[in-house]
Homo-oligomer: A and B are copies of this chain.
Amino acid sequence: MNVTKELHDFIFNGHLTYVPHLSIDCAVFGFHDNQLKILLLRSKYLDGWALPGGHIQRNEHIDIAAQRILKERTGLDKIFLKQYQTFGDPDRLKTQSSQYFLNAVQLPIPPNNWLMERIVSIGYYALVEFSKATPTPDLFTEECDWWDIHQLPALIFDHDHMVDLALQTLQAQLHYQPIGYNLLSDKFTMPELQKLYETILDKPLDRRNFQKKIMGLGILEKLEERKSVGPHKSPYYYRFHEKNYENALTAGLAFGF
């Protein structure tokens, strides 16, 4: 099936396959080598970059839909996505959506078309190792790439607000959930772990205070081995205590309460 026919079908018959009035958008953050990035795509028909998003099939669980959409749009598979906010401003699409679809099919679209109506979008987010996740654009997508969160391009609709809130959620998550597994090597030094926190929080942290707090959580094991970085300062390696880390993921970091 060629792109034009597929897009035409989506616009004029998509409501038979998908639930109207609802969509999903995914904010996928990538961490690697002390950089925090976000996955964005540029549609062939849209003027600006966007979070990977799409619609929910009539009989599909929304969590499954989020996984499928991310995979279709970007090729990223088996990413653990978590809901963070549902976006329901009645005017969130008003300025651009009709133009979008006019550009796409070069045909008039009736005002009662399912894509012309109000759409509430469910936001999901994830944090992955971006060097291991190579985005691949689908048929409708011109480009799909990681962007530095400090240098984002112009985003469509309310996607800048979506990115802001996803980032706030990721930052808040540091205070009640462990983080780092899958983002750091099996063993890592305290400065490496601190850098992960500093990058996500986007601010420097006090070294001694950080070490005290993080050790107090009981999710780290100090190893005998040191990393060789020079004759005088060879930091110890640490690793995550698997069981405590898992427990903290589900129960939350108690922080002593």
Contacts and interface: CB of A to CB of B under 8 A. Distances in A.
Majority-rule SS of A interface residues:
loop
A212 B118 CA distance: 50
Nearest to A214: B257
Interface in A202-257: 205, 209-210, 212-213, 252-257
Interface string A80-109: 000101101110000000000000000000
A201 B257 contact: yes
Interface of A: 19-22, 56, 58-63, 65, 83, 85-86, 88-90, 118, 120, 122, 171-172, 174-176, 197, 201, 205, 209-210, 212-213, 252-257
Nearest to A63: B88
B88 A120 contact: no
Contacts of A86: 62, 83, 86, 122
B172 A210 contact: no
A10 B63 CA distance: 30
Copies of this chain, how many?
2
A92 to B, nearest CB: 10
A210 B257 CA distance: 6
A254 B63 contact: no
Of A88, A89, A90, A120, chain B has the most CB atoms within 10 Å of the CB of A88
Contacts of A171: 252
A59 B257 contact: no
Closest 8 CB pairs of A and B: A62-B88, A175-B176, A213-B256, A86-B86, A59-B90, A21-B21, A86-B122, A176-B176
Nearest to A210: B257
7 contacts: A20-B21, A21-B21, A22-B120, A60-B90, A62-B86, A172-B176, A175-B253
A158 to B, nearest CB: 12
A175 B251 CA distance: 11
A193 B220 CA distance: 31
Contact of A120 (B19, B118, B256): B19
Contact of A175 (B22, B209, B212, B254): B254
